[in-house]
Structure 1
């Protein structure tokens, strides 16, 4: 090493903007990016001014491309504070750095757990409320001596789909997998299992404010009229088995708005009594890494 080289010199200013950006964007872990921003004042300003935390978060969660801006529920500064345009712009960049960095970090660090809070609506129910969608939140397929399951109405055509709508525990959640258990009708001859042929999932938000306490589960809520679905999963085959079937998403998905749509595609089992095809489920649940109520996304 030449004697005249100062080993403590910051090399970042010696590189052009694009090269510096490309180098730091190779840091796929949000913790590494946070550490890089602490190397020096220059590195800190570079990370914030170029929105690297936001860019990393967008790579992880493409659903965020539809977000116009972010605000903090306990913001350090309000948008209406006086100051120069440069100061306001820097405040916005700092806020985005905190919010997107927090989201990226939490999405990778929090342990998976159950995240469905409410059952909203089923496209059909055979006998309400005895066979209603609320039964899919019960972890047991029997409560006492009474079977606990949701049943669709019967159909002559096995291709007729069904949908179930759920509310997640937070308006902003990172979903990793969704689990479903078809119901085994132990009280019918042969104990048939009323599974779907396949399943697909959508996530999104309601078009208007939805009062969960006033929702009438006996009435079907149209998933396309009332909701905007920002993510659609691949179609997963479902086994005709009475076990908890885990459908792991190709990558963690950020659900903005807190609503989950379960699309049950095709019917496997005909009921002997009436010759119609049904879908019966005794459990629906989902796993997530984090929910975020600290920040409001607009």
Structure 2
């Protein structure tokens, strides 16, 4: 409706530009009322003067910040093309005046953030974004009760219970945490889902839920390639230390029900996770185990629901302490996997960096499939039987 009114005003002025008619200050106030990136794009398409007004005032970037405040962490945006820039264009860019350079920067930011805004409000369905497990704060019996079990939606695999269990504690206030790597370095996260585990092999079928849940999103400070993850031989305790991460978002605390169902914890707003790491904090313990009179927390299944913004958007990970460069790769979403993987020497340096990161993520996914939790049933086990080791958390 707001856009229709502005377009009518342009016609009614008999050739007078609406921006000149009401003045720049009032025009800015009106443009800042637009809360949909599509409306802002339509406004920029009305005329050359309107487009320049939108570009000069950085309205697209401001709107992205209003939608996701985490966008403010980006100090610079760059456009990455597969082909290296032409020598003549590069020469003009290096020899131009400071005013020309500022104009090009505003044009570039407009292109990047107008597309980012559309991606932030996209109606594409959410999916589970977990790529693999980084580690848990404690594990009772490793690897039988590893965090990797939380990637399985079933509570039984090959007739055996599948869950992660914390270590036992006398103090019910001792927290636990589960840390995951997402399938992209830049994702929009809407909600987290957790299913507490019901110990069907214990008397009374106790449910080992936590009292509350809190979510942290951020990125690793470890050098690229040095982040490890859980294997059957490695619990990966060192990698989950908070000093190895920068948490850019922390959710409120959500109460958890002591029920064996997949419980949804919806974030107050969609959050831009820059860096692809999610930490689920499990706060407080409810259930004691009868055999040792200690409190435990057990999770059957966990999901981090959202949308990846890759491969069109990526972040610069060359410096693990600085995820402030937003990279936009126009048209990358239309490329096939083969197009991205089969790079050649003529591709730009930035494109080679993208390919390297893409291959790294695919390598992680393959390792996760190969080294993930594998459950075997003993030959002597009856269907549905539980061994003595399964009775203790």
TM-score bracket for the superposition, by shorter chain length: over 0.9
Give 1:46's aligned residue. 53
Q: 2:286 aligns with which of 261, 268, 285?
A: 268
Determine which structure has the larger strand proportion and give its number: 1
Q: State how far apart, in whole Å, the 2-side matches of 1:135 and 1:211 are.
A: 24
Q: CA deviation at 1:210?
A: 4.8
Structure 1 position 245 matched with structure 2 position 263: yes
Alignment of 1:53-92 (within 5 A): 53-74=60-81, 81-82=93-94, 83-92=96-105
Match of 1:184 among 176, 195, 198: 198
Rounded Cα–Cα distance in structure 2 between residues aligned with 1:55 and 1:75:
28
Taking the aligned partners of 1:79 and 1:115, their CA distance within structure 2 comes to: 38
Cα RMSD for the two superposed structures: 1.9
Contact 1:72–1:294 (CA<8 Å) still a contact in 2? Answer: no
CA distance in 2 between partners of 1:288 and 1:219 (Å)? 26
* Aligned-partner Cα distance in 1 for 2:79–2:202: 55
| TM-score of the aligned structures, taking structure 2 as reference length | 0.71
Tell me, which stretches of 5 or more residues in structure 2 are unaligned? 1-11, 316-324, 326-393
Identify the match of residue 107 of structure 1 among 117, 120, 126: 120
Conservation of the 8 A alpha-carbon contact between 2:192 and 2:266:
yes
The 8 Å contact of residues 72 and 296 in structure 1, kept in 2 or not, is answered as: no
From 152, 161, 175, give the equivalent of 2:175. Answer: 161
Partner of 1:165, secondary structure, is strand
Q: Distance in 2 between matches of 1:200 and 1:103?
A: 27
Give SS of 2:121's match. Answer: helix
- By how many angstroms is 1:293 displaced? 3.1
Cα deviation per residue 1:203-229 (whole Å; 9 max; x = unaligned)? 011112353774355132344210000
Asked if the contact 1:107/1:290 (under 8 Å) is kept, the reply is no
Three-state SS of the structure 2 residue aligned to 1:57 is: helix
* Other-structure match for 1:277: 295
The residue that corresponds to 2:387 in the other structure is: none
Q: Secondary structure at the match of 1:64?
A: helix
TM normalised by structure 1 equals 0.93
Q: Compared with structure 1, are the counterparts of its residues 261 and 213 closer, same or farther at alpha carbon in structure 2 (3 Å cutoff)? A: closer
Aligned to 1:93: 106
Comparing both structures, which one devotes a greater share of its residues to helix? Answer: 2
Unmatched runs of 5 consecutive residues or more in structure 1: none
Deviates more, 1:191-200 or 1:102-111: 102-111
Inter-partner Cα distance in structure 2 for 1:278 and 1:265:
11
- State yes or no: 1:141 paired with 2:155: yes
Runs of 4+ with deviation above 4 angstroms: 75-80
Is this contact kept in 1: 2:183–2:308, CA < 8 A? no
- The residue that corresponds to 1:218 in the other structure is 235
CA distance in 2, matches of 1:210, 1:280: 31
Secondary structure of the equivalent of 1:59?
A: helix
Write the distance in 2 (CA, Å) between the matches of 1:49 and 1:75.
28
SS where residue 18 of structure 1 aligns?
helix
2:23 pairs, out of 16, 20, 37, with 16
State the structure with bigger RCO (CA 8 A, min sep 6), 1 or 2. Answer: 1
Residue among 130, 139, 144 paired with 1:130: 144
CA contact (8 A) 1:57 1:104 kept: yes
Deviation at 1:75, TM superposition (A): 7.8
Report how many residues are paired. 294
Tell me which moved more, 74-83 or 263-272.
Answer: 74-83
